[in-house]
Amino acid sequence: MKILKYFLVGGVAASVDIGLFYYFASHLGWPWLPVSIASFIIATLVNYFISIRFVFKSGLRYKWHLEIAGVFLVSGFALALNQLILYSLIEVFEWNLLLSKIVATAIVFFWNYFGRSKFIFTFET
């Protein structure tokens, strides 16, 4: 049940990330690299606030400022992995922007779940 709740919350955040990325990079023609960083950061904030409401118990392990710092630390590694995957798929393999972003987001989801559940939060009971 825990991972299912996180999967639903992650789906909302992934929709924000992918939607913003695709709109700004594909429709407006902005460079994919800075757009992917910005959309990832916005989606991380969305994920954090929805997660502490529905998935994790906030404030049990750490105070709020340390908790959010932990989320961004875990997400920093995820962002680096996301960028590496995007670069490989877009620049090396010349995949479509949207497909590349979906694949990168799916892979990074598992790191985010593991990192947040093991190092930062306690699950909602």
- What pLDDT is recorded for position 64? 85
Question: Which residues touch 38 (CB under 8 Å, ≥6 apart)?
Answer: 20, 24
pTM equals 0.90
In the predicted model, what is the mean pLDDT of residues 53-75? Answer: 88
- What pLDDT is recorded for position 32? 98
Q: What is the number of domains present in the chain? A: 1
User: Which of the residue ranges 7-11, 58-62, 72-76, 78-82 would you say has the lowest mean pLDDT?
Assistant: 58-62
Range of the domain at 33: 2-123
- What pLDDT is recorded for position 49? 92
- Is the model's pLDDT at 80 over the cut of 80? yes
